[in-house]
Amino acid sequence: MKIIMLGAPGAGKGTQAKQIAAKYNIPHVSTGDIFRANIKEGTALGMEAKSYMDKGQLVPDELTVKILLDRVAKDDCKNGYVLDGFPRTIPQAEVLDEAVTKLSEKIDYAINVDVPDENIIRRMSGRRACVKCGATYHIVNVPPKKEGICDACGEALIVRDDDKEETVKARLATYHEQTQPLIDYYSAKGILKEVDGTKDMNDVFADIVAILG
């Protein structure tokens, strides 16, 4: 099964994608996580990506597409994957379609996690992330057992550099301009599914499972 998660920054794509990955036994592929891992290791790719991420802008398609195609070509993606944060532009979606079609395969579902902008700003200020294992928490909604420490791996949690309010506003503007058009793109292909992302995260997941079967 090949699934794409759509939604504004902070809509809960990552939270849901991790649960989907666990239940359906497919890898969770997050371009944002790949960039952050590169930033942490100080690679050239990480440096370049960071210059865009810190401004709330998208990393250029050319760079992002290459990384994504390399990732989904790996063996563990043979039986499918859940993409979180890719595609974010129409050209990215077209490249993905082309790559999947070349293998005589298809994307099964594009799930749009719908959350209005005003909820997003509130959510992001409470987000805490583990850069070591990719786990995500929220100081009120999903607190770790021990404050500031990842339950899964013991690493210190961070506030992402791009979760500051000004940057979140810039990311929302980028989203509306460049990523939201993908909703119509996948709707036209007949694979778009909408879920209400303002619900409790377990209810959102139940709605997704009802769609995926």
Task: Enumerate the active-site residues.
Answer: 13, 88, 127, 160, 171
134 is a site residue for ligand ADP (CB under 6 A): no
Q: What distance in Å separates the CA atoms of residue 139 and residue 144, rounded to the nearest whole number? A: 8
Q: What is the CA radius of gyration of the chain?
A: 16
Q: What distance in Å separates the CA atoms of residue 79 and residue 69, rounded to the nearest whole number? A: 15
13 is a site residue for ligand ADP (CB under 6 A): yes
53 is a site residue for ligand ADP (CB under 6 A): yes
Name the site residues for Zn ion (rule: CB under 5 A): 130, 132-133, 135, 150, 152-153, 155
Residue ranges with strand state E in 154-197: 192-196
* Binding site partner of 138, from ligand ADP, Zn ion, none, Cβ cut-off 5-8 A by kind: ligand ADP
Q: Which residue is nearest to ligand ADP (CB)?
A: 32
* Binding site partner of 134, from Zn ion, ligand ADP, none, Cβ cut-off 5-8 A by kind: none
Q: What distance in Å separates the CA atoms of residue 120 and residue 138, rounded to the nearest whole number? A: 12
Number of residues that bind ligand ADP (CB under 6 A): 36
Nearest distance, CB of residue 158 and Zn ion, angstroms: 11
Burial class (CB in 10 A: 0-12, 13-18, 19+), 156: exposed
Q: What distance in Å separates the CA atoms of residue 12 and residue 199, rounded to the nearest whole number? A: 10
Q: Which of 21, 26, 58, 150 binds ligand ADP (CB under 6 A)?
A: 58
Could you identify the residue written with the tokens 């370049």?
48
| Ramachandran bin of 185, using left for φ above 0, alpha for ψ from -120 to 50, beta for the remaining angles | alpha
12 is a site residue for ligand ADP (CB under 6 A): yes
Q: Which residues of the shown chain bind ligand ADP in the complex (CB under 6 A)?
A: 7, 9-15, 31-32, 35, 52-53, 57-59, 64, 85-88, 92, 123, 126-127, 136-138, 141-142, 162, 171, 197, 200-201, 204
